Structure 1
Amino acid sequence: MKKKIICTFLASLLAFGCPVSAFAAEITATAIPNSKNLEGWSDFSDGMCLIIQNRSKLGYINTAGKVVISPKYAYARDFSEGKAMVVIDGKVCYINKTGNVVISTGLNYDYDEYGWAYSGETEFKNGMACVYGPGGWGSINTAGKVVIPFQFDKPYFFNEKGLAQVFLNGDMNYIDTKGNLIFPAGYSSIGENKDGTWTGIRHDQLSHAGFLHSEYSSYDLLDAKGNIIKTNVKTSAGKNFDMIALAQATLDDYGLSKDRYLSISTPVDGIAKASLLYDVAVANYGGARNVYIDTKTCREIAGPFNLAEDFREGYALVSKNVTDGFVTYTKNGLINTKGQPVLPLEYETVNTKGLSEGHMLAKKNGTLYLIKSTGHKGGFTDVSSADYFYKPVKWAVEKGITSGVSDSSFAPNQTCTRGQIISFLWRAAGSPQPSISNPYSDVKSNDYFYKAALWAYEQGMAEDISFSPNAPCTRAMAVEFMWRYDGSPSYTAELPFYDVNTDADYAEAIAWAVDEGVTSGTSETTFSPDSTCTRGQIVTFLYRGFAG
């Protein structure tokens, strides 16, 4: 397959050029007019950020620094898939980016229940959002229809495999996107193993549960369909993990002295955050304990800081305490992965943990500022060198297969649609001109995917009269499109995935994808064919299938 498109990629390069893909960027700060009473209140999400006025009413600002929805809500959540949850007259509603109500759930807002919910749990993901109603937590669709009944004890969200961890009558369980329970009742804890099996600990198997450790004498081994493989598997009980000892063992990995450091975090972008010993920090740095370590050289590159966040989008939010007489202030700024300050420690208020979608809000001297990561055209602030999709995204942009959703954002975690993946494949093929009339009922000549859809029909990749361009692309759809593009080669290899039937339409495509190294399973025994794909996952599939 890789040989097949070498020539078409050369054609793509000539047709589209090679956009400069710079993944590092500089930082600018722009004052927002008339912002004395405003503060940022969240991360940027879907191009919007919550703001709060006089610490009472919430509204939204966009990435241009314009207040597009005036502060008027007592309760509001982040935008996702073009919608945000707000409370109007005590009822849960969803608004669009112009502030118009698009879903009126009619459900009462319960402060205690929603106080336990993270913003992501009530956001729309793949057309569903988790909300609280009579009987507990459930899900609605974009029409406001209840698609998963209100019955669960706590809010939940679905992972990339289409599963959500839920609690029902004190038991932990998992549900699929239709609300079906996966495992039997009675488990206190359930977790997935690397081989695709699951470990379930029943309430009667748990002898002690604590903050740092749990004790249990046996557990059940289950498959991903919830069937018990083995019950009461014996294990050593009462093991207590020494967290300090574990941290010091990590220090040894980097050759860091235990006379200076207490612990070190998992590296991000090759940089790890380390904590100094209390006595060292007090004696030498006024109590500031957080430093950053370059894991290649095992040397400090920045700090100490009083507060330090992990790197996000190539930058880390840091702060130092400044004392003026008897008053101590916190000053915030940003550093890059070289440890260099790119936003000075001048900002008093930053209600976030760093940049998101290339932006954040910070306040200085009574004025709110839009902090923006800007740089070379084609650079993405939401793609870092530590991401598994870093090289695939860079490759796809350079080949003209795809671009970002904006100059600074690729949106790798955004759901990929059928229209998008067909467009990606069409561009990879050199953007050939289709020679047929439009066979689709739901494709118009001014759609961005128009030529791609017609080309796909010609190639036998999508032959129904309805193309469904906005439908989410699943893992099975993605590999089937690629397999058909490669000529639908015959594959009879036995698959290890219990969730792929041998007579499924996409079985050969999955066998092909595994053999070509396009993708493997989501575990050793599962492929998750119905799970939706993100933009980052799709370009990774294409990169593995076409690059080289």
Structure 2
Amino acid sequence: MKYIIIWCFVWAVVSNTFAQTLTAKQNEKGLYGFADETGNFTIKPKYDKIHSDFYKGVACVVKGKKYVFINTSGKEISKSYSWASYFGDNDLCLVNTGGKLDEEGNLTKGKYGYVDLNGDERIAVRYARIGDFNEQGIALINEGGSINKDGDFEGGKNGFVHTSGEILISPKYTHVGEFTENGFAWVNIGGKYDDSENLIGGKFGYVDRYGIEIIEPKYDFIGPIGEDGICWGNRGGKIFKSDKKIESQLKVYAKKEKDKTKIIAKREELENKLTGGMCDVLRNKIQGGKNGFIDSKGREITKFIYDKASNFCNGAARVMLINKKKEAFGFVNRQGKEITKIEYAEVGEFQNGFTYVKTFPIYNKKKKINIPSKYGFIDKTGKPLTESKYTWIGKISEGIVACRNEQGFGYINNTGREIVPFILQDAKPFQEGIAFIKLPSPFFSKNQIGKPLSAFISYPWVDRIKSLGKADLLKNDTIAALVNFSSEGRYGAIDSNGIVLINFQYSDADKFTNNVAPVKSIKWGCINKNGETIIDCKYEEVRTTFDNQIIGVKNNSFWGGIDLKGKVIIPIEFDLFEDFSNMLQDYIKKGRETISARTMEIYRIHKKNLTEHFNIISTIPNEYWDY
């Protein structure tokens, strides 16, 4: 027995070595076979073509326009097929029976399946189409579909198969989407595409990357499954197509605004307002019906009661209910629990563990006054971090948000703490740990670097000034100057602790990008985080770009690009910043070669032709445009 095992092992090694040395060879009659290292045929030349060399002891040959698999002894180990692909890492080869190649070399008709290294049909040759296997060994299969006159595959039913040959889901879906990065694909039963490529009707659900149906197809629309493993579903809704009110508003807007890009953006704004920005997995805008949430195990974690719902973001999803024609918003958590009352006029998305909520305006009957809407902040459990007392808020950036109250601008962090006194004339968003703020002239001197704002701004002092009457102010020129908050202020910069990093000396400023920020004295230039001037303030406008070596500058109404030393890299000849930006992209793609005079001449010709073109089309009345 011992010797038999040893002999089998030796024979396996010899056979494998032998298979690796076999190479395709053609004889004088034009037929192919396989020869060993000496050039002698070990498999007789009787094939019209060698489709693939030996792979793990198996090769594919063509004989009389038929593909067949053979082993190293030349024995045919499979049926004959109309076409074959090549063995992949999963040791399977896609084959087709009954198919034909069209003029472009594409295989049409026929049935597909997979053959293994034994020549057996691991997956029966019976499907109209089989997709590629994913990392989990799952592939899409289709029965009954065909290629239409436009060359697109359509129709039939879809299911899923494993590389083992096991049919995980028998073909039953009318449509199947692509698998997303988090491993889910939407499925639809009964839907049809209209002329605008909208998938109309049918029911939606989901399968996972393992070919398991995790959400039964029973929803009219369904949202994408997010990182939380939850999606929203809709019952009774319809695809939003057009609205007479929107069209009417757009006509009025288009008479004042000639820029087509802005008109399209306005349409998007109006449509989002009407639909709540709700889009299904196919990016169709949804209107009407009731919405709820489903987890990745197919469980409905909320009732389907909401008029609008959003995707989950950082552990919570926004929901909306319509009550007496008033749209009220709130939040639902991963467990399907409402963490706030559905009572706000507006709510944001959670970032850094907090977000804003906006109250509705209230009429005080006793005082007979209107109390306007105010903003406040809550944490991810729905607990209030601040009172609703802010009249304006900016975007949350780096865990800090600029706000405004009755006194002025300031900032709060994600704990609800006001990090600077609310006496600023302006507050820009934080970026790269720095934000530009604007102070009225009474509150700054030549050098405040390293000092906290609270060291030279105090609420009692400010309140005292504000409490003085006009007559008292006129008696004291110093106080009169201090209280003049409408006077010209200056911008400087602070860190997230309210420490001054850059003195208050600029009439305007923009955020830092790659250690560079545009600032304005009389004209625009740039500084670094140390407050050092790196581009002199001599331009009409300055913008940082996606490239940290080139700055966009505007001079004499034209845009161009300079480096951080002020050298012109891209000629200042472009009418629009976007045109300059496109040239910048091309410059980088070409290895930062100097832009030639010929390139600029082409641009000038193109600009001239484009100008003439728009001069012609501008004479066409607005009602003829398809916005």
Q: Would the TM-score normalized by the shorter structure come out above 0.5? A: no
Larger of the two Rg values belongs to structure: 2
Question: Which structure exhibits the higher relative contact order, with contacts defined as CA atoms closer than 8 Å and separated by 6 or more residues?
Answer: 1
Larger strand percent: 2
